[in-house]
Amino acid sequence: MTVKTMSIGDAAEEAGVTTRTLRYYEQLGLLPPATRSVGGARRYTGADIERVARIRRLQDLLGQDLDQIRRVLVAEDRLAELRAEWQSDASEERREEILTEATEINNELRAQVRARLAALSDFAEELEQTAKRYRKVARELRSRGARRVPSAPASEPSAATSR
């Protein structure tokens, strides 16, 4: 069965990235090396486009740290290898080893996600504290402004409302 391939320009357009991004992901090892046409041009498959989509999703979830994304992809690739080995009629002893390794990989991935969640939670808490300070200052300004408004001349705005 022949796998349909596309040019780097078509692949980039379909993936929603630039051709430079595809080359960069390949250089970093995030994308497997592209197959080449007889003339040496890069050719990409649907699986490559799916991989780029996964990379972009991980960037959204984990931030822009491509090294961290590479670690996740390597772990996912290893899990896929273990799954294939499991399905290829591995012995019971080997299946226990596969489960142990898969569990360790899963634990590492979960730890990375928990660390990211903790960092995001800390950042959200910082933002919440800042918002509370803003609300407090706004209440204080309104309170001071309300006390000044009666004494301000009707034709001139008060200091609190002129800002």
Nearest to 55 by CA among 86, 39, 76, 34: 76
Q: Is there a domain that residue 150 lies in?
A: no
Q: Which domain holds residue 16?
A: 1-60
Whether 158 is in a domain gets the answer no
Task: Assess whether 72 and 50 both reside in one domain.
Answer: no
Residue 150 pLDDT level (bands cut at 50, 70, 90): low
Residues 52-62: tens digit of each pLDDT: 999 998 888 77
pTM above 0.85, yes or no: no
- The total number of structural domains in the chain stands at 2
Both 53 and 76 in one domain: the answer is: no
> Tens digits of per-residue pLDDT, 36-91?
999 999 999 999 999 999 999 888 877 767 888 888 999 999 999 999 999 998 99
Residues 100-126 as b/e (b if ≥16 CB within 10 A, e otherwise) read eebeebeeeeeeeeeeeeeeeeeeeee
The phi-psi region of residue 65 (left if phi > 0; otherwise alpha if psi is between -120 and 50; otherwise beta) is beta
Indicate whether 123 and 136 sit together in one domain: yes
129 in a domain, yes or no?
yes
Same domain? For 23 and 43 the reply is yes
Same domain, 69 and 4: no
CATH number for the domain harbouring residue 2? 1.10.1660.10
Say whether 125 sits in a helix, a strand or coil: helix
**Antiparallel, parallel or unpaired: β 6-7 and 35-36:** unpaired
Q: Are residues 72 and 45 in the same domain?
A: no
Is there a single domain that holds both residue 43 and residue 4?
Answer: yes
Residue 28 and residue 88 share a domain: no
Does residue 6 share a domain with residue 34? yes
Positive or negative torsion for Cα 46, 51, 55, 57: positive
Residues 6+ apart with CB under 8 A from 10: 44
